[in-house]
């Protein structure tokens, strides 16, 4: 499989180069040259297949030749080494829990996969690789974890000062070693812009072999398909399962983008709901056709406080060829306020003793709204629970705080008494990042 950028379809690069470049030199995102179709037998027999083999079959066409089969298996094995439970909340609504990994959020999957791939390539390249990454909260911790103490790789993480939770900050900054944290006096969108610009800067390129570990990186995006397949396998064991609708709490739209790619490969998913907080660029785009990112508004689902989602062009330009009719046929996007989010967390706890986090809560709200608005009752709904509620403890409803429990196994990841290391502060301009990078 080769990759091209969204702007230029003629300049083809390998998986390795797409991974190492992160962003294409023309400033747009890489996409695969085409979406391979899976054998229908594979889909039909998925309930008897094991998770590693399913994941291998899904990812193989995208990285074949760049990484030998044996290593692909090792990479998958090291990535999917914790459970992905699918639980029924009530009636035809299920939750897929993606928070059982080392930083308690779904980004562990993509980050671990990418770091394993990069370690494989690093042995070939032989020089220091610098990962430069912007985070709205969870990417940072996941990337720090994935790359911690990996030889020949250093990680620089930019995050919005005051934009992330204290546990998120700990997960980013308490490891030290080859992990460096840069606090930016600005928003996530600022951080993301600064990172993107660094990749295009000649002087920075001279000093560093840079790559990105944001969800713009193809090696983070593609493995996120795994758990859509895993949940499909699991849903087949449920009685009365019907056509599938996924609701994905969305910020940078990488998670939902991976789901749509899985669908295009042949996974029988009927519809996607991209559920957002009041950073509502896409819900508005779906209504008006106007793409107007504004300044970012802070919410309690802070990992989704993004107003110019990087992955949306992959969905719109590449997967749906800028065709609004096609997009509207199986993609919906709804927005919800903090008040709605808190109310649903309380009500789901009171009714079903299930504790949502603010992001998963927005996923649930998306289902509720869709059922009401589109009268789509006769479906099986799955929402992604993208983080453990303990991660957002400070903004959970105060009446429920005492009921938030964390298993012993996950508790070891909360880094209670760790102190921050390697933290730096800069302003929200590209020049301040450039100065810091060139003079550190
Ligand atoms: C990153 C994140 C999201 C948003 O995912 P995208 O792929 O950026 O749309 C949702 N929930 C949590 C907890 C996250 O960390």
Specify the pLDDT at position 198: 94
Helix (H) or strand (E) holding 251: none
pLDDT band at residue 406 under the 50/70/90 scheme: confident
Q: Is residue 174 within 8 Å of 421, Cβ to Cβ?
A: yes
Inter-CA distances, 400 with 158, 346, 353, 373, 403, Å: 32, 7, 11, 30, 5
Segment 46-52 mean pLDDT: 96
pLDDT in tens, 308-326: 999 999 999 999 999 999 9
Averaged pLDDT for residues 28-53: 96
Q: Are 304 and 277 in contact (CB under 8 A)?
A: yes
Please indicate whether residue 105, judged by its CB atom, sits closer than 6 Å to ligand 1: yes
Q: Which residue, chain included where needed, has tokens 């096609």? A: 326
Tell me the helix, strand and coil percentages in the chain, rounded to 5. 50, 15, 35
Q: How far is the CA of 353 from the centre of ligand 1 (A)?
A: 24
C-alpha to C-alpha distance for 155 and 149, rounded to whole angstroms = 10
* Mutation choice for ligand 1 from 169, 249, 276, CB with most ligand atoms inside 8 A: 249
Instruction: Tell me, using a 6 A CB cutoff, whether residue 386 lines ligand 1.
Output: yes
Question: What confidence score (pLDDT) does residue 411 get?
Answer: 79
Residue 378 has pLDDT above 90, yes or no: no
Which tokens go with 187? 């928003």
Rounded CA-CA distance 120/434 in Å is 29
pLDDT at residue 98, as a whole number: 98
pLDDT band at 396 (very low <50, low <70, confident <90, very high): very high
Q: What is the pLDDT of residue 165?
A: 85
pLDDT of res. 211: 86
- Rounded to whole angstroms, how far apart are CA atoms 127 and 274? 40
**Å from CA of 307 to ligand 1 middle:** 13
**Mutational pocket test of ligand 1: of 97, 250, 304, the residue with most ligand atoms within 8 Å of the beta carbon:** 304
Mean pLDDT of 90-96: 96
CB of 141 shorter than 6 A to ligand 1: no
pLDDT bracket for residue 52 (50, 70, 90): very high
pLDDT in tens, 214-261: 778 999 999 999 999 999 999 999 888 889 999 999 999 999 999 999
Ligand 1: distance of its center to the CA of 172 in Å?
16
Instruction: Kindly list the structural domains of the chain, giving each domain's residue range(s) and its CATH number in brackets, ordered by start.
Output: 83-106+221-410 (3.40.50.1100)
Q: Is the pLDDT of residue 376 over 80?
A: no
pLDDT of residue 245: 97
Find the 135 Cα to ligand 1 centroid distance in Å.
10
Any ligand 1 atom below 6 A from CB of 259: no
Q: Regarding beta strands 129-134 and 153-160, do their DSSP bridges make them parallel or antiparallel, or are they unpaired?
A: parallel
215 lines ligand 1 (CB under 6 A): yes
| pTM, rounded to two decimals | 0.92
Determine if ligand 1 sits within 6 Å of the CB of residue 391. Answer: no
Per-residue pLDDT band at 274 (split at 50, 70, 90): very high
What value does the mean pLDDT take over residues 179-188?
Answer: 95
Q: Is the CB of 253 under 6 A from ligand 1?
A: yes
Residue nearest to atom 8 of ligand 1 (CA): 252
Nearest residue (CA) to ligand 1, atom 14: 303
Question: What's the rounded mean pLDDT across residues 191-199?
Answer: 92
The runs of H, that is alpha helices, within 126-200 are 138-147, 166-173, 188-199
Say how many C-beta atoms besides its own lie within 10 A of residue 14's C-beta. Answer: 14
Ligand 1: residue of 96, 100, 114, 138 to mutate (most ligand atoms within 8 A of CB) is 138
Is pLDDT of 416 > 70?
no
- Cα-to-centroid distance, 145 and ligand 1 (Å): 17
Give the largest Cα separation in the chain, rounded: 62
Residue 415: the pLDDT is 65
The H or E element containing residue 412 is: none
Q: Is 255 in the pocket of ligand 1 (CB under 6 A)?
A: yes
Ligand 1 centroid to 292 CA: how many Å?
21
Model confidence pLDDT, tens digit, residues 5-32 = 999 999 999 999 999 988 888 989 999 9
Burial of 126 (0-12, 13-18, 19+ CB in 10 A): exposed
- Check if 97 has its Cβ closer than 6 Å to any atom of ligand 1: no
Q: For residue 417, what pLDDT is reported?
A: 66
Stated length of the chain:
440
> pLDDT tens across 337-358, in order?
999 999 999 999 999 999 999 9
Instruction: Give the residue, by CA position, lying nearest to ligand 1 atom 1.
Output: 303
Region 279-302 average pLDDT: 96
């Amino acid at each position: 499989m080769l990759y091209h950028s969204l702007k230029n379809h003629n300049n083809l690069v390998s998986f390795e180069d797409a991974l190492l470049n992160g962003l294409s030199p023309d400033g747009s995102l890489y996409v695969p040259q085409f979406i391979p179709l899976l054998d229908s037998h594979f889909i039909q027999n998925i309930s008897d297949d094991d998770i590693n083999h399913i994941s291998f079959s899904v990812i193989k066409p995208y990285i074949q030749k760049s990484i030998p089969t044996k290593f692909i298996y090792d990479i998958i094995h090291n990535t999917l080494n914790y459970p992905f439970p699918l639980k029924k909340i009530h009636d035809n609504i299920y939750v897929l829990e993606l928070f059982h990994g080392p930083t308690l959020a779904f980004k562990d999957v993509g980050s671990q996969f990418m770091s394993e791939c990069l370690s494989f390539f690093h042995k070939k390249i032989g020089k220091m690789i610098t990962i430069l990454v912007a985070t709205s909260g969870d990417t940072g911790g996941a990337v720090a974890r994935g790359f911690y103490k990996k030889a020949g790789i250093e990680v620089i993480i930019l995050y919005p000062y005051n934009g992330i939770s204290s546990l998120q900050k700990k997960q980013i900054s308490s490891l030290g070693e080859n992990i460096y944290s840069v606090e930016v006096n600005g928003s996530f969108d600022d951080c993301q812009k600064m990172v993107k610009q660094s990749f295009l800067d000649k002087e920075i390129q001279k000093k560093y072999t840079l790559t990105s570990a944001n969800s713009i990186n193809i090696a983070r995006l593609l493995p996120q398909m795994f758990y859509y397949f895993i949940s499909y396998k699991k849903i087949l064991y449920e009685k009365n399962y019907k056509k599938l609708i996924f609701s994905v709490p969305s910020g940078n739209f990488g998670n939902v983008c991976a789901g749509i790619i899985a669908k295009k490969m042949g996974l029988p998913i009927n519809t996607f709901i991209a559920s957002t907080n009041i950073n509502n660029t896409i819900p508005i785009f779906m209504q008006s056709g106007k793409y107007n990112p504004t300044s970012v508004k802070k919410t309690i689902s802070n990992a989704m406080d993004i107003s110019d989602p990087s992955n949306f062009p992959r969905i719109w330009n590449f997967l749906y060829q800028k065709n609004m009719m096609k997009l509207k046929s199986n993609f919906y996007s709804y927005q919800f306020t903090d008040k709605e989010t808190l109310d649903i967390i309380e009500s789901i706890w009171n009714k079903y003793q299930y504790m949502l986090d603010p992001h998963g809560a927005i996923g649930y709200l998306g289902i509720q709204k869709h059922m009401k608005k589109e009268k789509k009752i006769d479906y099986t709904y799955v929402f992604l629970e993208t983080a453990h509620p303990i991660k957002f403890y400070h903004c959970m409803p105060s009446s429920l705080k005492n009921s938030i429990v964390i298993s012993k196994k996950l508790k070891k990841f909360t880094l209670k008494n760790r102190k921050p290391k390697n933290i730096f502060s800069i302003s929200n301009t590209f020049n301040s990042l450039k100065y810091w990078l060139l003079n550190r």
